Amino acid sequence: MNPVEAMTRQPIATDQDVVRVRQLVRSAAVAANLPLIDQTKLVTAASELARNTLVHGGGGYACVERVSNGRKIGVRVLFVDEGPGIADLDQALTDGYTTGSGLGLGLSGSRRLCDDFAIETAAGDGTRVTVTKWAR
Ligand SMILES: Nc1ncnc2c1ncn2[C@@H]1O[C@H](COP(=O)(O)OP(=O)(O)OP(=O)(O)O)[C@@H](O)[C@H]1O
Ligand SMILES: [Mg+2]
């Protein structure tokens, strides 16, 4: 992964953009030496979150970055949109809850698949989701 490319805002406006973000996250996970199982978990979570950005948020962007806490390294991915936001976050994080036609497992599943998971959102105020996977 080219670090400059990764840090750049990756637009999420089309299905093809979701594929590109997924590929970039995969490259970052490989470069950070995440075990294959953790690469797959992070890529799966990122794919779900990118799709949410597109479908529910009306599009936005992602940033992929390598992070370190002094002892270990990892990969962090940020998703940002300026869509309707999420009024009831507990409800949105419940397995099976959906306002669309999906399974309602994207958000809750992403939280389980990653080490750190944070959402900032409010009704009318867009959504920012950050996920991190650390190398062990
Ligand atoms: N970026 C977002 N902006 C606004 N609402 C969102 C966003 N992401 C998730 N939500 C809300 O949270 C709900 C749950 O999201 P989740 O990803 O779990 O399910 P889904 O996208 O509906 O279905 P699935 O991901 O299983 O195909 C969504 O139906 C939507 O109402
Ligand atoms: Mg979803």
Span 14-48, pLDDT tens digits: 999 999 999 999 999 999 999 999 999 999 999 99
Give the span between the Cα atoms of 131 and 118, in whole angstroms: 7
Distance 29 CA to ligand 2 centre (A): 22
Mean pLDDT of 106-111: 97
Residue 93 contacts by C-beta under 8 Å, 6 or more apart in sequence?
107, 108, 111
100 lines ligand 1 (CB under 6 A): yes
Q: Nearest C-alpha to atom 29 of ligand 1 is from which residue?
A: 98
**Whether 32 contacts 135, CB under 8 Å:** yes
pLDDT computed for residue 1 by the predictor: 54
Report the range of poorest mean pLDDT among 3-17, 53-67, 84-98, 103-117: 3-17
pLDDT computed for residue 64 by the predictor: 97
The DSSP 8-state label assigned to residue 69 in this structure reads -
Mean pLDDT of 73-84: 97
Indicate which ligand has the atom closest to the C-alpha of 99. Answer: 1
**Whether 135 contacts 69, CB under 8 Å:** no
Best residue among 98, 114, 121 to mutate for probing ligand 1's pocket (most ligand atoms within 8 Å of CB) is 98
pLDDT computed for residue 136 by the predictor: 75
Closest CA to 78 of 116, 41, 108, 109: 116
